[in-house]
Structure 1
Amino acid sequence: MTSIQWPAGYVPGFSDNFCSNEVIVANLSIDKVWALLVTPAEWSGYYANSAHPRFYEERGPMLALGDRFYFETFGFPVEAEVVEYIAPVAGQAGRVAWHGWAGEGAERLNVHHAWIVEELSANRLRILTQETQQGEPAKALAATVPNPMINGHQEWLDGLVSAARA
């Protein structure tokens, strides 16, 4: 199976917080999932922890490599830039990742949030999302039990699957 490509400074195990969530489901269209995933305006329709998305420089409505965008999640106003974008095609997984940041100084949070959507044998679809975080807010999130990132991203995955099936 395909794995996340981590940039320097964001490799799991060397970051302040890391979460990984994955689902494998049968009979789900990769095209429907991909369209919902790469359109931030759709996120709040299936994931309650996402709000107020907008693009900069008259870009959008779908993510593309190099796009700058904004959204709010986990109580953070997140500025983000798409650093990886490969749409899925037959025999190749879809990949999208963004670098996000919020806050300043000691309260700055930096994240690398990556997604893989890939078709598996027997008409199954794998959706993987992983995120690494750096900064004092990331350390606080990592110490919280249960980890809100793990739970929040699972809600995102479950909502994405439900929306794609609808």
Structure 2
Amino acid sequence: MNAIFWPEGYIPGFADNFASNEMIVAGLTADQVWPLLANAEVWPSYYANCADIAFPDGNGPVLAEGTRFFFRTFGFPVDCEVTEYVAPQAGAPGRVAWHGWSGEGDERLDVHHAWLIEDIEGGRVRVLTQETQNGNPAKALAAAVPNPMINGHDEWLRGMLAAAREGLAQA
């Protein structure tokens, strides 16, 4: 199966925090799931840990490489810039990733959040999201039990797949 492309400084195991969530389900396709990730304005409709999405440069709501956006998640106001965006194609996964940052000085948090959405054999879709984080807030999140990043991203995946089953991407 395909893997995330990691930029220097955000490689899992060398970053301050790492979260990985994956779901594989039958009966959905990448084309059904992708619009629910690609259009950031719909995230709050299926993921409660996401709010106040804005596009300060006037682009969006559909993401593209270079798109800058803002949202609140996990109690952080996060500014983001999309660093990778490739829609799914036959035989190739959809990929989207962004660099996000919040705070300053000792409270600075920097993240690389990446997604893969791909069709796999047997009429199934695989959705993988992984995030690495650096900074003191990342160290605190890494030490928390239960892990808020794993649990939050699990909710994001479950909500996205439920929305795809309900056909919300076509609405």
Q: Compute the TM-score of the two structures, normalised by the length of structure 1.
A: 0.99
Give the count of matched residue pairs. Answer: 166
Tell me the equivalent position of 1:133.
Answer: 133
**Aligned partners of 1:9 and 1:15 also within 8 Å:** yes
Instruction: Give the fraction of aligned pairs with identical amino acids, expressed as a percent.
Output: 63
Matched letter for residue 135 of structure 2: G
SS in 1 for 2:33: helix
Query: Which runs of structure 2 are paired with 1:127-166 in the superposition (5 Å)?
Result: 127-166=127-166
CA–CA separation in structure 2 for the residues paired with 1:49 and 1:35: 19
Matched letter for residue 39 of structure 1: N
Tell me the equivalent position of 2:25.
Answer: 25
**Aligned partners of 1:22 and 1:128 also within 8 Å:** yes
Deviation at 1:138, TM superposition (A): 0.2
**Structure 1 spans left out of the alignment, 5+ residues:** none
CA–CA separation in structure 1 for the residues paired with 2:54 and 2:40: 8
Task: Determine whether 1:13 maps to 2:10.
Answer: no
Matched letter for residue 92 of structure 1: A
Q: Compute the TM-score of the two structures, normalised by the length of structure 2.
A: 0.96
**Aligned partners of 2:29 and 2:123 also within 8 Å:** no
CA–CA separation in structure 2 for the residues paired with 1:61 and 1:48: 18
CA–CA separation in structure 2 for the residues paired with 1:27 and 1:141: 34
Computed over aligned residues only, the root mean square deviation of the Cα atoms, in angstroms, reads 0.6
Deviation at 1:32, TM superposition (A): 2.2
